Structure 1
Amino acid sequence: MASGQVKSAAFVLLLLNLLLYFIVTVMAVWAVNHAIVRSRKTASVLTIPARIFPIYFPVGNMATGFLVIFSLIAGIVGMATSATGYLNVTDGKIQNLHAAAASSLVTLFLTFLAMGLACKEINIGWIDANLRTLEVLVIFVSATQLFCAGAIHARVSEVATILNIYGSGRV
C-alpha cells in the first residue's frame, strides 16, 4: 500500500472516530443526566440491596449503568486520542506515530470493553430506543477504531521501514 493511501485512510478514520466518539459521549452524558434526575423517585421504591447499588439507572436493565459509564470513559478518551492522533499522523515523525499507535490501542481496548457491555445489555434485553442507539454506536465505533488502529500501525511500520532503508529523518 502506498504511503499516501495509508496516511489518508488514517486521516479519514481519525476524523470519523472523532465525530462518532463525540456522539457516544453526548448520548452517555444524556443517560447519566437522565438517571440522576429520575433515580431518586425510582430508587425509593426498591428494596435495600437495589437501592444502595452504586450504578442504578431507571431506564434499561442492570447492565445499563456499566455500559453508560464505560461508554462515557471510552468516548472521552476516544475524542482525545482521535484529536491528538490526527496531529501526530500529520506530523509524520516516527516518535509521534508511535505515540498515536499506543494511544489508539488504549482507546481500542476501552471501546472493546464498552462494546462487551453493550452486547451484554442486548443479551439481557428490556431497553428503550435511546439506549439501543448508544449500543449500536458503541459497537460501530469499536469497529472503526479497530480499522483506525490498524491504519496507524501500518503507517508506523511503513515509516520505520523507510527510515531503516534511507536513514533517519522526516518522512
Structure 2
Amino acid sequence: MNNRNCFVACGKRVVLGVLTAGCLAIPLSALSEDLPFSTDPQVLARQREVYDVVDRYQNGLNTKDTDAIVNLFADNSVAEWNDKTTYATRQQKIDGYNALFRKVNFSTQFAYDAIDVDGDIGIVRTHHHVGATYIEKGKKVADHNRELFVLRRQDGQWKIILYMFNTDPKQGEG
C-alpha cells in the first residue's frame, strides 16, 4: 500500500480510511462560488460531477422524491441515519425515505465543507446552516445535520455508496 489509506468496498460494508498525501481535498480558504472547488480544471470537473449527485440528493429531499434519491445510490450501498437501523437494501431505503417524507418537509440548502475526489472515490461533507429548520407536524424544528456522502464512479456514473449523518448544534464548525 502506498502512503495513503484507501477506501475498500466489501459487499455491503464500506471501510473508510483517512486520505492523506495525494488527496484532492480543498481547504475552505480556497472557496470558489462559496463551494470548495479546485482551480485545477481536471479536478474541478470531477468535483462538479460529485457535487451534482449530492445536489440531486438535496433536491430529492426538498421535493420528497424517494425514487430520485434512491436511484442515486449504488446497489451495494448503505444509508445510516441517527437513531435508525442501517438501510442496506433498496427496499429499506425506499421504506425509510417514504416514512421520513410522511412526517417531515424539508427546504434544505447544504453548506459544503469539502468535496474531495481521489480516483473513482468522492467524499462530500456538508452541514446545514445555523438557523436551518424543517417542518414536522406543522412545527419548525432546528435542523442540525452534518452529512457525509461517499461516492464511487461505477460504469461512468457517480453513485452514493455510503450516506450518513449526525446532528450537532455546532453545524459544521471545526
What TM-score, normalized to structure 1? 0.25
Specify which structure has the bigger relative contact order, considering alpha-carbon pairs within 8 angstroms and separated by 6 or more residues. Answer: 1
What TM-score, normalized to structure 2? 0.25
Structure index of larger Rg: 1
Kindly indicate which of the two structures has a greater share of residues assigned to strand.
Answer: 2
